[in-house]
Structure 1
Amino acid sequence: MDERETWRSGYPLTIPNALLQSEAMQRACATRNFREIFRLVNRRTGSSHAVIASAVGKMTSARVSDIIRGVRGIRGQQVIERVADGFGIPGKMLGLPPRPWEGSPEGIDGSSGARCSVGAATNLEAKAPGDTSADVRSTIPDTPDSALLPIVVDGRMVPVPVDRKSLESRGPGGLLEQLVFSGNPEEGAVPSAEHEIMSLLNRRTLLKSGFSVTALRGTSLDDIQRVTVALADAHRYFDGTMVEYFRSQLETAKCDDGRLGAQKTLPVVLGLLGVIEQQVRDVKPVIRRELLSVGADGAEFAGWLYRDAHEPEIAVFWYDRAMEWAQEADDPAMQGYMLLKKSQMAYDDQDAARMLTLAQAGQHQRWRLPTRVEAELLQQEALGCAMLGEPLTLIEQKLDTARELLTRAADGEPSGLGAYFNEHTLLLRNAVSYTEAGKPGIAADLFGEIISAGTLSRRDTGFFNARRAVALALSGEPDEAAEVGIASAEVAQAVQSERTMRVLGEVLQTLSRWRCRPAVRKFCEALRAA
């Protein structure tokens, strides 16, 4: 039995040294990536979710599952301490003081110090731009009432636990000043990149909203600025105009999505949802229902963004949240609409049966849906029938009926649910149905017709070009499929659309029989670069 295991005699779970010292665990602890920590403990020790929950304490198996799937996080200092004690992770590795079970102040690796610097807590050195020597002169408070703030460490966003009272202190020499200045202030040090980020964060707004910027992947300085503006502005509108304010912000974000992609749009959307979730607790019931209805719309949009980023588990979380909020808001149309969205997500998984039944359930009259959504649901049902091998005559009958519904959509329905579903959208979806029905030639022509009209957003042009490339490959047109695939890959890389990249993977697989052709080789190289 090694020394650490001796110290932890009587604890129900102690992860082995081999796992503790592995590069994956060291990296996860350095960045406080608890999703990865829990996943490693689960998979490499064979500990069930129940065993992990029991070891950490005050936690359920369901929450452990949520943490591993990435739908919930860990922020509170006391919970972090319980994780360290539950798994036997030395405090230093998680930026904590030595734990009570550690046998000496030095801990497992012989390093001393009850508190560690920001650089030590992250296993990285925080440098100001152009400074190759100075580190951030700061310590991490070990008080339970703490918050996580992002700082730039070696070009990466790292969550740093900060005492809330110290954080809000504006006096000279306070924690904020220690965090944001590199080098010796007496020698005329200049604000570092950390200072630029901290200046953008409205500290009081961030702490009140409960929204963690550090939860975002690939968060840039510009992203944080956009989140901060959204949070700060939102608090001004908690009166009769706030519902319309949130609606307008979401519409702006939806426009940005097609141009910028999910990774650039998510920060603002998540910021707004964080404010909504916090503030619905304090408003009147009538405003609460209206705000939850907007929140459901925003949660559905967040789910879509995570679908595009190919994060299906997080997308499911937001789709479920949208359904829950729609139910509480007594918004039947949104509930029916979420059945459509879940049906479309089932297509991502190629689950034809679930896709079909969800589309059929969404057509029940209890939902009181706009005509455009009814048309989209019927088209989705046709796609499900195509995947299940139903006769082409039945599929085309449903597609024709969907088109008739769309032409009857009232002029009074230009906005709201299904506003995006127009003639071009219908034809694009019809093309997907023809592909699934074994008629890729028809599909390729439809895709080409709509894409050439130039009405699609940049991101959607890239995605449907990928679908067109699939149809062309299936039609025995490898050179044209490769050419279209290259154009799609360029857009997918620019907007970081993982969903498009997945479809391009299908193209590559279909073109494998023609891999010796120059155009196909060029496509393979473009896809590899993307």
Structure 2
Amino acid sequence: MSDLKAPGANWRLVAARVERGWLTQEDFVSAYEASAVSLRSQARISVRQVRRWESGQSKWPNRDARLVLKEMFGVPLEQLGFVPLGSAAGRRGVPADVKPFLEDTVLRRAFMGGALAAVAAPLLDLAALDHLTAASRDAHRYADHELVGHLGDALEATARADTLAGPHRAMPAALGILSAIDSTARDAKPHVRRELLGLGSRAAEFAGWLHRDAGSPEQAIGYWHGLAKEWATFTGDGAMHAYVLMRQAQALGRSDPVRMLDLARAATSGPWTLPPRPRAEALQQEARGMAMTGADTDEIRRVLDLAHAALDQASGPAAPVACTGPLGDSYTRERLMAQTGICLREAGRPAEAAAVFKSYVTREAFMPRDYAHYRAFLAGALAEAGEPDEAAVVALGVVEIASAARSGQALGELNRSARALFPYRERPAVGELHERLLLPSTR
């Protein structure tokens, strides 16, 4: 790598920032300013300055900034990828310790083990990190199909981490992958840029999902959905654009039923063709929007029938959940039926909804987090159907699963169910549920 002359991205600083929980450059600025205040320093920075540091354009911070950065990270600035002025490395524009940089604990934890410690599946080995570092310095030369493959593998490993350990464990790695895609795609050759942006669209949609499940603000979720659609548009991937529209509809929850319905209908009727499985999911989402906006029950069932017909067209069994595989290929009949239960509940038919949930939401059919999510909906349906004791028992049965994964969606639905049970708060199981969820109770 000694022939790489141009400065490149400062991956050390990006990795150290993400590892410490400052997932965006705005988060980093806020943390920096808090540290400056604690040091009684007047040093202030902007997002633009952080961008300069992370892009490698700014080699060595000024004196005040150095003091704040040492306070924030607790390591010498050289370990954050900064190069002292006047050093040989600084004159060459290349870090003096490229190989140690690749082996650096902070970097490897942020891009590999740190985000995936629970599953012990490294995202990138040293050869892949070497390739990524070379591409960050000369994307036109080193951003190639092999790099796309490395990043795709990393994204799949991150998705597995989310499935097993929840969004907070997967998010740092996902954002690191997106940062790598964004920086290398800018100067990559056109055919490689197209591949990178195609992968980036998948990764950005996944980041939107992670933010949604972590309970992030709507604007954060919307940012990643917007980027996913933008990159899908650049690559001419109409199906991916439609899929993100459907994901946007899902992310609205119960906050804006009319917009949910509009987004779901756009996904199924726009100038694109969704594959059978994601089309079935989008039609189901349309049915839910119809239920929430007061549509006739027969019309809701008609759209649900279309969803089942779309799923019938899918060839072969559903595939494992994947970020880079065939679009939406993990959508199953059991998931469609569970979401049908949600539609029935929204349509004011909680007893029918509860029956559907009981029949199709099983531990065999769903991963633990999704099982907890749909069982929380069952608890709400039972509460609305006048079965408070059973509802509380069901909810208590999944509190630990949802809490362990820190799933905002499952916990949010559990809290909604608990609020529906408030009139029955004197019953033992309901009181215990309120205590477990730290909700008001008479007990």
Partner of 1:283: 188
| TM-score (structure 1 length as normaliser) | 0.61
> Percent identity at matched positions?
32
Partner of 1:325: 231
One-letter amino acid of the counterpart of residue 454, structure 1: E
State the Cα deviation string for residues 146-186 of structure 1 (Å, max 9, x = none). 799798xxxxxx4469645985679xxxxxxxxxxxxxxxx
- 1:307 aligned onto 2:260: no
Q: How does 1:416-455 map to 2 (within 5 A)?
A: 416-452=326-362, 454-455=364-365
Per-residue deviation, 1:249 = 2.5
Per-residue deviation, 1:349 = 4.2
- 1:404 aligned onto 2:299: no
Partner of 2:128: 233
* Separation in structure 1 between the aligned mates of residue 126 and residue 248 of structure 2, nearest angstrom: 29
- 1:492 aligned onto 2:402: yes
Q: How does 1:55-66 map to 2 (within 5 A)?
A: none
Alignment equivalent of 1:294, drawn from 196, 199, 204? 199
Q: Which runs of 5+ in 2 are unaligned?
A: 1-16, 45-59, 85-102, 133-142, 320-324
Q: Relative to total residues, which structure has the larger helix share, 1 or 2? A: 2
CA contact (8 A) 1:234 1:275 kept: no
Aligned residue pair count: 368
Partner of 2:241: 335
Partner of 1:55: none
Partner of 2:418: 508
* Separation in structure 2 between the aligned mates of residue 296 and residue 358 of structure 1, nearest angstrom: 18
**Range that drifts further, 365-374 or 503-512:** 365-374
Query: Relative to structure 1, is the Cα distance of residues 455 and 231 closer, same or farther in structure 2, using a 3 angstrom cutoff?
Result: farther
* Separation in structure 2 between the aligned mates of residue 439 and residue 230 of structure 1, nearest angstrom: 52
Query: Relative to structure 1, is the Cα distance of residues 428 and 231 closer, same or farther in structure 2, using a 3 angstrom cutoff?
Result: farther
* Separation in structure 2 between the aligned mates of residue 503 and residue 517 of structure 1, nearest angstrom: 20
Alignment equivalent of 2:256, drawn from 351, 354, 359? 351
CA contact (8 A) 1:386 1:437 kept: yes
Query: Relative to structure 1, is the Cα distance of residues 98 and 474 closer, same or farther in structure 2, using a 3 angstrom cutoff?
Result: closer
* Separation in structure 2 between the aligned mates of residue 93 and residue 519 of structure 1, nearest angstrom: 48
CA contact (8 A) 2:245 2:264 kept: yes
Partner of 1:478: 388
Partner of 2:62: 142
Q: Which runs of 5+ in 1 are unaligned?
A: 1-31, 33-66, 101-139, 152-157, 171-197, 214-218
- 1:93 aligned onto 2:37: yes
SS in 1 for 2:271: helix
Partner of 1:120: none
* Separation in structure 2 between the aligned mates of residue 328 and residue 147 of structure 1, nearest angstrom: 42
- 1:382 aligned onto 2:287: yes
CA contact (8 A) 2:123 2:154 kept: no
* Separation in structure 1 between the aligned mates of residue 204 and residue 385 of structure 2, nearest angstrom: 39
* Separation in structure 2 between the aligned mates of residue 234 and residue 426 of structure 1, nearest angstrom: 40
Query: Relative to structure 1, is the Cα distance of residues 150 and 284 closer, same or farther in structure 2, using a 3 angstrom cutoff?
Result: farther
* Separation in structure 2 between the aligned mates of residue 413 and residue 510 of structure 1, nearest angstrom: 35
Per-residue deviation, 1:220 = 8.2
Q: How does 1:455-466 map to 2 (within 5 A)?
A: 455-466=365-376
Per-residue deviation, 1:222 = 4.7
Query: Relative to structure 1, is the Cα distance of residues 520 and 319 closer, same or farther in structure 2, using a 3 angstrom cutoff?
Result: same
* Separation in structure 2 between the aligned mates of residue 296 and residue 519 of structure 1, nearest angstrom: 45
Query: Relative to structure 1, is the Cα distance of residues 385 and 240 closer, same or farther in structure 2, using a 3 angstrom cutoff?
Result: same
* Separation in structure 2 between the aligned mates of residue 249 and residue 220 of structure 1, nearest angstrom: 11
**Range that drifts further, 359-368 or 464-473:** 359-368
* Separation in structure 2 between the aligned mates of residue 260 and residue 94 of structure 1, nearest angstrom: 34
CA contact (8 A) 1:343 1:358 kept: yes
Partner of 1:201: 106
SS in 2 for 1:528: coil
SS in 1 for 2:26: coil
State the Cα deviation string for residues 182-230 of structure 1 (Å, max 9, x = none). xxxxxxxxxxxxxxxx951249x99xxxx9x9xxxxx88959x988857
* Separation in structure 1 between the aligned mates of residue 326 and residue 70 of structure 2, nearest angstrom: 36
One-letter amino acid of the counterpart of residue 332, structure 1: G
CA contact (8 A) 2:36 2:68 kept: no
CA contact (8 A) 1:469 1:507 kept: yes
Partner of 2:135: none
One-letter amino acid of the counterpart of residue 73, structure 1: E
Per-residue deviation, 1:320 = 1.2
SS in 2 for 1:452: coil
Q: How does 1:232-251 map to 2 (within 5 A)?
A: 233-236=128-131, 238-251=143-156
SS in 2 for 1:73: helix
CA contact (8 A) 2:115 2:173 kept: no
- Give me the CA root mean square deviation: 3.8
CA contact (8 A) 2:116 2:158 kept: no
One-letter amino acid of the counterpart of residue 468, structure 1: L
* Separation in structure 2 between the aligned mates of residue 454 and residue 375 of structure 1, nearest angstrom: 22
| TM-score (structure 2 length as normaliser) | 0.73
Query: Relative to structure 1, is the Cα distance of residues 165 and 433 closer, same or farther in structure 2, using a 3 angstrom cutoff?
Result: closer
